[in-house]
Amino acid sequence: MSVEAREARQPWILLAPAISAVTLLLLVPLIFIVVYSFWLRTATGADQVGFYLDNWQEALTDRFYRDILFSTLRIAAITTVVCALMGYPAAYFIARSRGNKVILLLLLMLPFWISYIIRTMSWINILGVSGALNTLLMSVGIIGEPINMLYNETTVILGLVHFLLPFMVLNVFVSLDGIDTNLEDAANSLGATKWQSFIQVTLPLSLPGLAAGGLLCFVLGAGTYITPLVLGGPRDAMFANLVFEAIITQLNWPLGSALSLMLLVVLGALVMIYNRYLGMAQLMKGLG
Amino acid sequence: MSTVILDKIVKRFGTFTAVHPTNLEIPEGTFLTLLGPSGCGKTTNLRMIAGLLDPTEGEIRIGGKSVNNVPIHKRNLGIVFQNYALFPHKSVADNVAFGLKYRNIPSSEIPGRVQKALDLVQLPDVGDRYPKALSGGQQQRIALARAIVIEPDVLLLDEPLSALDANLREDMRVELKRIQDQIGVTTVFVTHDQSEALAMSDQIVVMSAGRVEQVGTPEEVYNRPASEFVANFLGASNIIEGKCTGKDAETAALDVPVFGKVPVPADKAPHVSEGAAKLVLRAEKLLLMPQGADTTGMVTSEAVVETVDYQGQTVRYFIRAGDRQFQAINMIDGHPFAEGTTVTVGFRPIDCAGLPG
């Protein structure tokens, strides 16, 4: 075999394990889900194989689903904005600190060593009726009776921010860290104040990182079901909870499939828009 | 355009002193170079003038006013950075216009001034392009245009040529000097490259380990080095330890091994007094000649060629005379002397300088 032929084959050999894994574990199940979504669950509880549009009709026309889809997107959007507002200054601080960047980044990654579910549930110990915050407020005498702070949309957003903030910080950090500090000095020397040079130079140059972090926060936030399950009330269900409900509780796989594909299409469209304007490369940088 | 004065400036980083007490006056319109090896404090001085660093002690005055408490954006300086530091998300014209937006200039005048600056750096047609689309040399010209369009009081150049290719560097050197002459702005240029310093400067400040070694015109620092460091940093020198046997208004009589008595002009040995002294003999002043050549007016010795480093127009010889090795850089016409040849080496005493021992 010639050198050229061997070199031409090499990428495929190296890619084979990853491609097989993606095909077997992602693509094939996805095809199953698509097929399922056209089956029909009969009154007896059995699935009727065939090509029925009933699930799709229900998913797309029932106001209940549409409302929850919108509220899911709203919660994800609020979470993303909060993450951006909190994460940007933190990322800026890390990127501009000398020497101890590694330690600060390590501290940022520390929460990932604890299970996401545990981290989410820890808020119950903090905000619960007999939690840390209520105990503190009562002992100081600010309140007489414990306040019910948990199980509403705010705590869901709080949990999501807690979960997603590091993704935002990392992405913005990577972007900021790549900006030559001489650019700000140059802007200052030309007459711009620190704030003006931030707005004119640093902020625009870090927008790709902010967008990448925003996309990650939004997609992960919109697809979550554990946070609303643990920290939300009965009316705070998000779209993924509906899928969970349909598939696990009602064992209605065809409807659950149609619902999950709906969310996939909406979030997929967002990713496509992002890719169209900013490209995936920036996202990969942030994840690396 | 303004005079810049550093008055007893000191800069410490923690326990490390980057700049020892330094006094310096940069007259209006002067092209002054801070020259020295990396870590000598030249960039620290530049950054203090710029306002990017605060001096630990002392005062910096620009145009007669102390600027210690004036933030960088109010100092009206033009800075050109080694890596150009152009804003990658702005077009060339917007880069050049950047500083004008923070000055009280009617927006109708801005395009005209930008164009004038681009004309001055001989890149009149690139306003719509983005920095990435330009070559390194072009980017550096734009950086210069951006710095001078604001009509700064002082132009600060932080090793602006060292990121460029050798050929381009020499072109830019001439170009930079032409532009500086044309606008007449007080300029502080930082470099570790002695040939850049010699070619461009009105005044050179040679620095070493946070201290000023010598201040003078290019000819002064080259021909009358004030210290061994200066003699070695600007070109190659042979430093021969000997003694001074007498000094009058005309000459300082130095006595050194190998060559014997050398009457050095007194003005080139200002700090030498009777006793230990050193002779500074530039490598290009030490000539190799065939044995028996006419050596009138020269101090000479027999020597053997040890190493020949052929460089085309010039050749660098390492020769041995007595128990010492000397370096000589000679222009050549034809063939260099072969290794192992016995030659006569000689120099004129008036080309030498003397240092205290």
Closest CA to A155 of A234, A226, A233: A233
Nearest residue, CB atoms, A188 vs list B73, B150, B156: B73
Q: What is the pLDDT of residue B1?
A: 58
The verdict on B168 and B93 lying in the same domain is yes
Q: What is the pLDDT of residue A288?
A: 44
Q: What are phi and psi of B3, to 5 degrees?
A: -75, 140
Q: Which of B194, B223, B252 is the last residue of a domain?
A: B223
Residue A143's domain comprises: 62-287
Nearest residue, CB atoms, B83 vs list A180, A190, A193: A180
The verdict on B147 and B279 lying in the same domain is no
The verdict on B161 and B22 lying in the same domain is yes
Establish whether this prediction's ipTM goes over 0.85.
no
Beta-strand ranges (E) seen in B134-286 are: 154-158, 186-191, 203-208, 211-216, 237-247, 251-256, 260-265, 275-282
Q: What is the pLDDT of residue B332?
A: 83
Number of domains chain A contains: 1
Residue B245's domain comprises: 236-356
Our CA dihedral for B230, B236, B241, B246, rounded to 10 degrees, sits at: -70
The verdict on B24 and B163 lying in the same domain is yes
Residue A226 lies in a domain: yes
Mode of pairing for the β-strands spanning B16-26 and A40-41: unpaired
Residue A47 lies in a domain: no
Nearest residue, CB atoms, A190 vs list B52, B83, B102: B102
Q: Which of B195, B223, B251 is the last residue of a domain?
A: B223
Residue B240 lies in a domain: yes
CB < 8 Å to A187, chain B: 87, 98
Alpha helices in A3-115 (DSSP H): 3-22, 28-36, 54-61, 63-96, 101-109
Q: End-to-end distance of chain B based on CA atoms, in angstroms?
A: 42
Q: What is the pLDDT of residue A187?
A: 96
Please say if the pLDDT value at position B95 is more than 50: yes
Nearest residue, CB atoms, A186 vs list B85, B102, B103: B85
Over residues B243-265, mean pLDDT: 90
Half-sphere exposure of A239 (CA within 13 A, CB side): 30
Number of domains chain B contains: 2
The verdict on B187 and B256 lying in the same domain is no
Residue A45 lies in a domain: no
The verdict on B190 and B261 lying in the same domain is no
Per the CB < 8 A criterion, the answer to whether B275 and B243 are in contact is yes
Chain position carrying tokens 């949990």: A159
Q: What is the pLDDT of residue A283?
A: 58
CATH code (residue B106): 3.40.50.300
CB < 8 Å to B98, chain A: 187, 190, 192, 200
Residue B231 lies in a domain: no
Q: What is the pLDDT of residue B118?
A: 95
CATH code (residue A262): 1.10.3720.10
Chain position carrying tokens 């490209």: A279
Beta-strand ranges (E) seen in B27-124 are: 31-35, 57-62, 65-66, 77-80
The verdict on B83 and B214 lying in the same domain is yes
Query: What are the residue ranges in chain A where pLDDT is below 70?
Result: 1, 279-288
Over residues B25-30, mean pLDDT: 93
Å between B77 CA and nearest CA of chain A:
6
The verdict on B28 and B127 lying in the same domain is yes
Residue B230 lies in a domain: no
pLDDT in tens, B205-230: 999 999 999 999 999 999 889 999 99
Residue A98 lies in a domain: yes
Q: Which two tokens stand for residue A144?
A: 């007489």
Q: Touching check for B87 and chain A: CB below 8 Å?
A: yes
pLDDT in tens, B287-300: 999 988 888 889 99
- How far, in Å, CA of B172 to CA of B166, rounded? 10
Cα dist from A236 to A34, A192, A222, A243, A247, whole Å:
27, 47, 13, 14, 19
Closest CA to B355 of B285, B277, B282: B277
| Percent residues over pLDDT 90 in chain B | 72
Residue A42 lies in a domain: no
The verdict on B253 and B310 lying in the same domain is yes
Q: Touching check for B117 and chain A: CB below 8 Å?
A: no
Over residues B171-187, mean pLDDT: 90
Question: A189, B98: Cβ pair inside 8 Å?
Answer: no
Over residues B158-166, mean pLDDT: 88
Residue A212 lies in a domain: yes
The verdict on B148 and B261 lying in the same domain is no
- Select the residue from B79, B83, B153 to test the A interface by mutation, using most A Cβ atoms within 10 A: B79
The verdict on B172 and B249 lying in the same domain is no
AA identity, residue A195:
W
Å between B153 CA and nearest CA of chain A:
12
The verdict on B274 and B343 lying in the same domain is yes
Residue B229 lies in a domain: no
Nearest residue, CB atoms, A190 vs list B83, B98, B156: B98
Q: Which of B223, B251, B268 is the last residue of a domain?
A: B223
Q: What is the pLDDT of residue A284?
A: 58
pLDDT in tens, B275-291: 899 999 999 999 999 98
What is the pTM (predicted TM-score) of this model? 0.82
Please tell me whether residue B337 adopts helix, strand or coil conformation.
coil
Cα dist from B286 to A259, B88, B303, whole Å:
91, 51, 12
Chain A residue at shortest CA distance from B97: A190
Residue A43 lies in a domain: no
AA identity, residue A6:
R
Give the helix/strand (H/E) hosting B7.
Answer: strand B4-13
pLDDT in tens, B310-341: 988 899 999 999 889 999 999 987 788 889 99
CB < 8 Å to B102, chain A: 190-192, 196
